[in-house]
């Protein structure tokens, strides 16, 4: 068999295997949106079966043999799509073959049940109800890390699942100066000569009207409702089922506009990335998938923040919002509204946090994940430790578990190692957006007239089309000419808050 024939067969095998993964994604979407609670046990069996089938087929000697026949041949030299696909598939194959099928199935079974228990515990604000499930999830996650192997600490094995090649030392190297500069900025904001009125976005915003406005915003961004849908869930998410099917969710608060609106923009940002990947030709292959979760989050955070919280965005959308939310916004002008959606103050909920404090939420979770994984913190004590560290970081007491340790779905779903990618996403997004503005000097004017196609096309050309062809840091270097740094994010935040707060 020639290298080209081996590669073609590998592609065919991966596309079939990935159909199993897309089927699991569809079942998981249904679980989080419409599945009745009593279906959790049966759904856990379905998802565990599919996970086992996927693992068995992907880790078969056949896949390893095909990779071996293609590696070190002229077909995969340089930075071609073929080279990237083989490189990343080999990386994944070497990890997955170390995991027993039974462990893979058990992780999926337990996390499916744990998500349902988390939803109930969150609704009741009762961590004690969820604590045994948290212990089970971390025990299985620890087993997974040990099976895959790691250098340094087990967290490195898990972080690699979301940010390939990244290590704890890399995260700490960028978190440390970022934390220092954020604390300094937040200190200046606290003592600022003027403050916006956050009450503007905390008025009466009927849910039905929020749905209309949210869909209009997502559509203006470029989200294609003929290839996706918007539904309600406990914790917002986006899932790419396959070519022509990318779904997003949100949750509504009738007394606060920010929650659903920026949640929709965040998830639509994820969806635009998924829709921009070459899933028609590269489905099931790294070149048809995101390069990392940090890059994925850069897309969602950019649309949510650099776009959605910009003054130019509201030059266009505030008049529309005032027509829809007549009672709430009748007396509001542009500067007041711009200040309200950019109000900075400590708050409980990560997904509702302002840009200034958001990354502190991530750092808290990063610390706790490592402590739980290294058995320095017992699952039963995690809520208390959360409260202690939250008070240290934010200066306020957590009033209830649903505003504390139970607010995020990630740990119930077994997504340990995911949280740092949110801050990486903020860093990448600031760096990418600065380059987009440099390449398109009239970008602000485009936003003011409701035209977001320029930015979307720039993202399609510079980021989306590459999929996983380049690792995250290599992509940043390729797009911006610079390695990842916290400076572009701090420059952006200092400029924005300097205008709003007069600092």
What are 145-198's pLDDT values in tens digits?
999 999 999 999 999 999 999 999 999 999 999 999 999 999 999 999 999 999
CA atoms within a 13 Å half-sphere pointing along the CA-CB vector of 226: 0
pLDDT band at 77 (very low <50, low <70, confident <90, very high): confident
pLDDT above 90: residue 79 = no
CA dihedral 64, 65, 69, 70 (to 10 degrees): -30
Burial class from Cβ neighbours inside 10 Å (0-12, 13-18, 19+) for residue 263 reads buried
Classify residue 94 by burial, with Cβ atoms within 10 Å: 0-12, 13-18, 19+: middle
250: which strand partners? 232
Measured between alpha carbons, how far is residue 333 from residues 192, 203, 315, 495 in Å? Answer: 21, 15, 10, 21
The mean predicted confidence, pLDDT, of the chain is 97
Q: What is the tens place of the pLDDT at every residue in 273-317?
A: 999 999 999 999 999 999 999 999 999 999 999 999 999 999 999
Catalytic residue IDs: 267
Q: Please give the angle made by the CA atoms of 384, 389 and 390, to the nearest 5 degrees.
A: 95
Q: What is the pLDDT of residue 308?
A: 98
- Whole-number percent of the chain with pLDDT over 70: 100
Query: What is the predicted pLDDT for the residue at 244?
Result: 96
H-helix or E-strand spanning residue 463: none
pLDDT at position 167: 97
**CA distance from start to end of the chain:** 67
How confident is the model over 218-232, as a mean pLDDT? 98
The phi, psi pair for 347, rounded to 5°, reads: -150, 160
- Tell me: the pLDDT tens digits for 447-488? 999 999 999 999 999 999 999 999 999 999 999 999 999 999
Q: What is the pLDDT of residues 95-150, one digit of tens each?
A: 999 999 999 999 999 999 999 999 999 999 999 999 999 999 999 999 999 999 99
Residue 78 has pLDDT above 90, yes or no: no
Q: Given strand 230-232, what is the order of strands in its sheet?
A: 230-232, 245-250, 238-242
d(CA 85, CA 78): 12
Q: Write out the two tokens for 503.
A: 């600092």
**Could you tell me which residues are beta bridge partners of residue 249?**
231
CA gap 490, 480 in Å, rounded = 17
- The residue behind tokens 């095909």 is 66
């Amino acid at each position: 068999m020639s290298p080209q024939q081996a590669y073609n067969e590998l592609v065919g095998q991966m596309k079939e295997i990935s159909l199993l993964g897309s089927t699991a994604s569809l079942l998981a979407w249904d679980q989080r949106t419409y599945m009745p609670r009593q279906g959790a046990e049966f759904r856990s069996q379905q998802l565990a079966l599919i996970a086992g089938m996927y693992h068995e087929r992907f880790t078969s000697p056949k896949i390893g043999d095909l990779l071996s026949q293609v590696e070190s041949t002229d077909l995969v030299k340089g930075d071609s799509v073929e080279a990237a696909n083989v490189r990343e598939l080999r990386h994944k194959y070497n990890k997955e073959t170390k995991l027993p099928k039974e462990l893979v199935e058990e992780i999926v079974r337990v996390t499916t049940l744990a998500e349902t228990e988390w939803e109930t515990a969150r609704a009741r604000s009762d961590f004690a109800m969820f604590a045994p499930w948290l212990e089970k999830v971390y025990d299985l996650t620890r087993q997974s890390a040990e099976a895959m192997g790691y250098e340094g600490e087990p967290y490195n094995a898990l972080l690699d699942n979301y940010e390939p090649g990244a290590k704890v030392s890399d995260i700490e190297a960028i978190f440390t100066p970022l934390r220092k500069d954020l604390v300094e900025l937040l200190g200046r904001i606290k003592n600022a000569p003027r403050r916006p009125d956050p009450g503007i976005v905390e008025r009466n915003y009927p849910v039905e009207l929020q749905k209309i406005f949210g869909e209009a915003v997502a559509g203006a961004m470029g989200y294609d409702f003929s290839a996706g849908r918007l539904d309600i869930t406990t914790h917002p998410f986006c899932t790419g089922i396959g070519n022509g099917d990318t779904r997003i969710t949100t949750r509504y608060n009738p007394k606060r506009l920010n929650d659903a609106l920026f949640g929709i923009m965040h998830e639509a940002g994820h969806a635009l990335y998924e829709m921009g990947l070459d899933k028609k030709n590269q489905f099931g292959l790294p070149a048809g998938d995101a390069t990392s979760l940090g890059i994925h989050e850069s897309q969602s955070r950019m649309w949510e923040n650099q776009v959605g919280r910009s003054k130019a965005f509201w030059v266009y959308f505030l008049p529309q919002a005032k027509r829809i939310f007549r009672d709430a916004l009748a007396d509001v002008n542009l500067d007041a509204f711009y200040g309200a959606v950019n109000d900075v103050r400590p708050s409980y909920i990560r997904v509702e946090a302002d840009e200034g404090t958001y990354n502190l939420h991530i750092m808290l979770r990063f610390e706790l994940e490592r402590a739980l994984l290294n058995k320095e913190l017992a699952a039963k004590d995690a809520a208390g430790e959360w409260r202690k560290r939250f008070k240290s970081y934010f200066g306020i007491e957590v009033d209830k578990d649903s505003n504390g340790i139970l607010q995020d779905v990630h740990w119930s779903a077994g997504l340990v190692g995911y949280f740092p990618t949110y801050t990486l996403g903020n860093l990448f997004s600031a760096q990418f957006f600065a380059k987009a503005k440099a390449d398109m000097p009239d970008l602000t004017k485009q936003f003011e007239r409701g035209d977001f196609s320029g930015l979307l096309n720039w993202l399609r050309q510079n980021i989306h089309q590459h999929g996983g062809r380049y690792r995250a840091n290599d992509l940043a270097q390729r797009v911006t000419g610079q390695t990842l740094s916290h400076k572009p994010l701090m420059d952006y935040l200092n400029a924005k808050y300097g205008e709003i707060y007069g600092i």
